[in-house]
């Protein structure tokens, strides 16, 4: 069949099914109105033969909507096979959601040992929904790639943002009738990441990455780029459903942002200024030797040292005894908040920083739980349940390990010990508390060291926010942030207020 015939067939399906009726019975008593709309949208996209991105803001129940969509599909095709790929940390969240909202569906989580998974997959004829992780699908790709699925859904779809990564290639090699992406973060730092997700849900819609990048990738926000964004919006809008909490949850309490600026003490300042000078010298050497792109990892490591010094020099110097104004301020703030009977989430990018905070909290008899990369998915869920029910005061969480998939509405104060490059990843973390079920106004506190790289990161966040607001208004996370920064961005980060001090 020619491309023109395929296009005509898709248009015909679109006109036939774009307003198709979806019957609900008991679901209307469980789902909120916007969630009913989401289920209908997913079903309509599916019947039209397209793929789609469910990109609701964090905390609006994307998994619940998708489960009820699956129910609609299975009413028509009982023997349909559906695959859900999720981050390791979220597979048991999906199990919990299916137990609550889709217990009549035959589903299986494939997350045990390799031999056990393979044995279970070989005897999966009765399974309707397969749930696995990005990491495990790499190991089992020879099995999954030989299966034909009615629907394939990827949760936290930013995991395939890199068009050249192995997991992206594996995911795109899977065979399915309809592809869906679930993510509050379809756009992170570059519109090329959005292309990668579209290349999964609707292969060929944007031709190839070279053509797309030439036409749509922008370097700065100006009149010309805004016109490009408008053009791209027209093409992606039908296939992305995005709702913000402020628009659909009229009963959700406010979120208040409070930036607290802190002065480094004299000892910290000396170390910081010295490290800043070394960073500038090393940065120029890396650029001269490797170039900006190839030297990305080294540059990232250099900048990370400056960020760590802002938190506490002990992250870099084991024998340092000069104190940290940020840690001291944190403990003082926490004590004041707890005196008013609130519960607190504290986020940081660094596990070592959590270790320091743990010692300080113990020293003043404040109770806490911890989630970092060493905590298993099952244990995460247990800790979340305990925190929401008991009198534990503080939850310490690393951004990478706990910035998604947690429902911690018993807390109404969120503290960011350090800033990340995009505001969206901080939004994801904050939304562990600011979500459905929250009854109190959520206060978000960001601790920022004056005259340091942290103030420049705030500026960079604003630049990223403009792009996401204009195109997707989405959240994001990014592990390889250097790939999206320009050399000019880096030099701006290193042009700090302390550089001229004696």
In angstroms, the CA 149 to CA 128 distance is: 10
CA distance 426 to 419: 8
| Mean pLDDT confidence for 353-371 | 94
Among the candidates 210, 225, 248, a domain finishes at 248
Domain end (from 248, 267, 296) = 248
Residue 255 is predicted with a pLDDT of 83
- Which pTM value belongs to this model? 0.66
pLDDT tens digits along 296-307: 677 778 888 999
Whether 107 contacts 132, CB under 8 Å: no
CATH number of the domain residue 16 falls in: 3.40.50.10810
Q: What is the mean pLDDT of residues 210-219?
A: 77
* 273 and 185 in a common domain: no
On whether both 87 and 202 belong to a single domain, the answer is yes
φ/ψ of 354, rounded to 5, equals: -60, -40
- Domain CATH code at residue 477: 3.40.50.300
Give the pLDDT score at 24: 64
- 454: nearest Cα among 487, 489, 488, 419: 419
**What does the pLDDT look like over 107-160, one tens digit per residue?**
999 988 888 998 999 888 899 999 999 999 999 999 999 999 999 999 988 888
Q: Give me the pLDDT at residue 147, please.
A: 93
Average pLDDT over all residues of the chain? 82
Q: Do 193 and 259 belong to one domain?
A: no
Taking residues 204-216, what's their average pLDDT?
Answer: 83
Nearest by Cα to 38 from 180, 154, 159: 180
Same domain, 178 and 326: no
Alpha carbon separation from 271 to 316, 497, 501 (Å, rounded): 10, 15, 12
Return the biggest CA–CA distance within the chain: 74
* pLDDT tens, position by position, 25-66: 655 567 888 888 899 899 988 988 889 999 987 778 899 999
Q: Report yes or no: 137 and 168 within 8 Å, Cβ to Cβ.
A: no
User: Would the pLDDT of 88 be above 60?
Assistant: yes
Residue 253 has pLDDT above 90, yes or no: no
Give dist(CA 24, CA 47) in Å, integer.
17
For residues 289 and 280, give the distance between their C-alpha atoms in angstroms, rounded to a whole number: 14
Residues 232 and 260 in one domain: no
Q: What confidence score (pLDDT) does residue 455 get?
A: 85
Residues 259 and 209 in one domain: no
159, 219, 263, 310, 370 from 327: Cα distances, Å: 33, 37, 12, 10, 17
DSSP secondary structure of 175-218: EEEEEEEE-S-S-SS-HHHHHHHHHHHSTTTT--HHHHHHHH--
Cβ proximity of 155 and 90 under 8 Å: yes
pLDDT in tens, 448-477: 998 888 888 877 777 666 666 666 553 333
CA distances, 165 to each of 480, 495, 498 (Å): 12, 33, 39
> Averaged over 211-237, what is the pLDDT?
74
Higher pLDDT, 249 or 52: 52
3-state secondary structure 49-96: CCCEEECCCCCCCHHHHHHHHHHHHHHHCCCCCEEEEECHHHHHHHHH
List, as one string, the DSSP characters of 7-38. Answer: HHHHHHHHHHHTT-----STHHHHS-HHHHHH
Residue after which a domain boundary falls, among 219, 248, 277: 248
> How many domains does the chain divide into?
2
If asked whether residues 220 and 153 sit together in one domain, one would say yes
169 and 267 both lie in a single domain: no
Residue with tokens 């990455």: 209
pLDDT in tens, 401-417: 776 778 888 998 999 99
Q: Which residue range(s) make up the domain with 180?
A: 3-248
Is the pLDDT at 222 greater than 60? The verdict is: no
- Whether 196 and 307 map to the same domain: the answer is no
pLDDT surpassing 70 at residue 478:
no
What was the pLDDT predicted at 12? Answer: 63
State whether 243 and 259 are in the same domain.
Answer: no
Residues 357 and 496 in one domain: yes
pLDDT winner (highest mean) among 7-21, 352-366, 371-385, 454-468? 352-366
Do 465 and 328 share a structural domain? yes
């Amino acid at each position: 069949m020619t491309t023109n015939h395929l296009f005509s067939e898709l248009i015909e399906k679109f006109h036939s099914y774009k307003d198709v009726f979806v019957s609900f019975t008991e679901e209307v008593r469980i789902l909120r109105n916007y969630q009913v709309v989401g289920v209908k949208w997913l079903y309509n996209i599916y019947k039209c033969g397209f793929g789609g991105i469910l990109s609701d803001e964090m905390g609006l129940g994307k998994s619940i909507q998708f489960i009820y969509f699956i129910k609609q599909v299975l009413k028509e095709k009982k023997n349909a096979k559906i695959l859900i790929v999720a981050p390791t940390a979220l597979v048991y969240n999906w199990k919990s959601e299916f137990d609550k909202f889709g217990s009549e569906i035959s589903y299986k989580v494939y997350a045990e040992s390799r031999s056990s998974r393979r044995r279970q997959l070989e005897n999966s004829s009765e399974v309707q929904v397969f749930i696995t992780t990005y990491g495990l699908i790499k190991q089992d790709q020879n099995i999954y790639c030989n299966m034909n699925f009615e629907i394939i859904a990827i949760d936290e779809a930013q995991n395939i943002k890199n068009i050249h990564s192995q997991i992206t290639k594996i995911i795109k090699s899977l065979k399915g009738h309809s592809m869906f992406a679930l993510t509050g973060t379809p756009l992170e730092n570059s519109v090329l990441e959005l292309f990668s997700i579209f290349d999964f849900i609707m292969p060929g819609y944007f031709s190839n990455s070279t053509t797309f990048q030439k036409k749509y990738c922008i370097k700065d926000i100006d009149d010309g780029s805004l016109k490009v964004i408008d053009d791209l919006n027209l093409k992606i809008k039908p296939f992305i459903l995005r709702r913000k909490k402020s628009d659909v949850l009229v009963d959700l309490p406010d979120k208040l942002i409070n930036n607290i600026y802190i002065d480094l003490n004299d000892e910290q300042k000396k170390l910081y200024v010295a490290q800043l000078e070394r960073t500038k010298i090393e940065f120029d050497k890396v650029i001269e030797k490797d170039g900006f792109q190839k030297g990305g990892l080294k540059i990232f490591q250099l900048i990370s040292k400056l960020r760590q010094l802002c938190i506490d020099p002990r992250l870099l110097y084991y024998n340092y005894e000069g104190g940290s104004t940020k840690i001291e301020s944190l403990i003082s703030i926490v004590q004041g908040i707890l005196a008013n009977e609130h519960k607190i989430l504290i986020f940081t990018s660094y596990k070592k920083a959590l270790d320091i905070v743990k010692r300080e909290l113990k020293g003043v008899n404040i109770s806490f739980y911890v989630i970092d990369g060493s905590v298993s998915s099952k244990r995460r869920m247990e800790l979340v349940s305990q925190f929401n029910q008991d009198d534990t005061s503080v939850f310490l969480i690393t951004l990478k390990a706990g910035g998604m998939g947690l429902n911690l509405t018993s807390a109404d104060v969120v503290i960011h010990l350090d800033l990340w490059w995009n505001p969206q990843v901080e939004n994801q973390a904050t939304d562990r508390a600011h979500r459905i079920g929250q009854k109190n106004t959520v206060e978000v506190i960001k601790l920022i060291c004056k005259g340091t790289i942290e103030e420049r990161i705030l500026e960079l966040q604003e630049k990223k926010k403009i792009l996401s607001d204009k195109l997707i208004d989405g959240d994001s996370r990014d592990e390889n942030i250097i790939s999206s920064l320009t050399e000019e961005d880096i030099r701006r980060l290193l042009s700090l207020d302390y550089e001229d001090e004696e």
